[in-house]
Amino acid sequence: MVCLERDIEQLTEEARRLIEEATDLAQLDAIRIQYLGRRGKLTVLLRSLGQQPPEVRPRLGRVANEAKQLLQRLLADKRQMLVKSAKVPTEAYDVTLPGISPLVGRRHPLSLVRRQMEEIFIGLGFEVVEGREVETDFYNFVALNIPKDHPARDMQSSFYLSEEILLRTQTSPVQVRVMRERAPQVPLRIVAPGRVYRRGDDDATHSPVFHQMELLAVDVGLSMAHMKGVLLDFARKMFGPDRKIRLRPSYFPFTEPSAEVDVSCFCDGEGCRLCDGTGWLEILGAGMVHPVVLRNGGYDPEYVSGFAAGLGIERVAMLKYGVDDIRHFYRNDLSFLACFEDMGGGWM
């Protein structure tokens, strides 16, 4: 009996020392198993108490239970100390699980296309300038040869802020603003990208807010051949080296003659859904700057001439990437926006 009691004491002392010396949770757990586990030293000893004479059992039982409680307390205290001091993770981490990548912002497809267009025109000697989205009726219409009662105003239903102030319906007003700043300087070569606003348009190919890029060149001796050369170069750099363009006679009040410009479709004239079977895709309006507009800009049409063009940035992006609805650009659906990161993506 005495012998067993001493054994219990010895065991307890031994375990106490080990617990004190333990430096991490794994060691501590090993000690717990060694003494209090199912086949632990103290557990086995406790189990053997049943074989002791009945008169000593209660005493031995008490001593053994006290020893067990003491060890449990020592283990718990030590555990808390280790966790606190070493900031040891209390849970296991599975380092093989896939990580959660943060959402990284990307450039909007329209910004990417605008930049690409700018790069192409910069390469051709054009300078990027900015206009204003809130314009006067004068620059948006009158200076561009569209007086108050001109029927062409109907083509561009406007958001008026007051009698004379409106949200620009086109980037063309930048033409006269820049000419007035620079005249009589030649050559003048600018592109002006930006937002434009039109009331009432809202379907798969029209949006009340969209983007245009205005192009203007003024110089001595400029002809439609120069215009065609610039636009063909643009079309090839933007849509592929084998593209052709064609000019169809058209009408704009601020150009004479005027043309609508088509680029040959990606189906190479076979006829497909994109080109409605025609083999051609309309990409822009253009023409030789009207003498009235040159004069409004401070240039003398007797000595200089100019050409201009207006491109829809959404239109270019939709054709280049096969986007079938302009509203995709404004819905902010991340799975759509993510397609364009490297300019190589597409969306159908």
CA distance linking residue 240 with residue 157, whole number of Å:
35
CA distance linking residue 144 with residue 169, whole number of Å:
12
Residue nearest to ligand DAH (CB): 310
Q: Which is nearer to ligand DAH, 255 or 264 (CB)?
A: 255
Q: Which is nearer to ligand DAH, 137 or 214 (CB)?
A: 214
CA distance linking residue 47 with residue 42, whole number of Å:
9
Minimum Å gap between C-beta 312 and ligand DAH is 8
Minimum Å gap between C-beta 170 and ligand DAH is 4
Q: Which is nearer to ligand DAH, 210 or 239 (CB)?
A: 210
Minimum Å gap between C-beta 177 and ligand DAH is 13
Minimum Å gap between C-beta 270 and ligand DAH is 29
Minimum Å gap between C-beta 309 and ligand DAH is 5
Q: Which is nearer to ligand DAH, 75 or 288 (CB)?
A: 288
CB-based contacts of 242-249 (< 8 A; 24+ apart in sequence):
242/268, 246/280, 247/286
Q: Which residues contact 279 (CB under 8 A, 6 or more apart)?
A: 264, 265, 267, 268, 269, 270, 271
> Six-digit token pair at 186?
């030649």
Q: Are strands 305-312 and 209-219 parallel, antiparallel or unpaired?
A: antiparallel
Minimum Å gap between C-beta 347 and ligand DAH is 25
Minimum Å gap between C-beta 300 and ligand DAH is 20
Minimum Å gap between C-beta 190 and ligand DAH is 11
Q: Which is nearer to ligand DAH, 45 or 308 (CB)?
A: 308
> Six-digit token pair at 104?
């990284």
Cα 7 to the chain's mean position, in Å? 73
DSSP structural state of residue 24: S
CA distance linking residue 260 with residue 210, whole number of Å:
19
Q: Which is nearer to ligand DAH, 172 or 296 (CB)?
A: 172
Q: In what order do the strands lie in the sheet with 134-136?
A: 134-136, 165-167, 159-160
What residues are paired with 165 via a beta bridge?
A: 136
Q: Which is nearer to ligand DAH, 8 or 311 (CB)?
A: 311
Q: Which residues contact 33 (CB under 8 A, 6 or more apart)?
A: 40
> Six-digit token pair at 28?
């501590």
Minimum Å gap between C-beta 126 and ligand DAH is 13
Grouping H, G, I as helix, E, B as strand and the rest as coil, residue 236 is helix
Q: Which is nearer to ligand DAH, 287 or 297 (CB)?
A: 287
User: Which parts of this chain interact with ligand DAH (CB under 6 A)?
Assistant: 170, 172, 214, 252, 255, 285-287, 308-310
Q: Which residues contact 284 (CB under 8 A, 6 or more apart)?
A: 231, 260, 261, 309, 310, 311, 312, 315
Q: Which is nearer to ligand DAH, 234 or 340 (CB)?
A: 234
Minimum Å gap between C-beta 141 and ligand DAH is 11
Q: Which is nearer to ligand DAH, 65 or 136 (CB)?
A: 136
Per the CB < 8 A criterion, the answer to whether 35 and 44 are in contact is: no
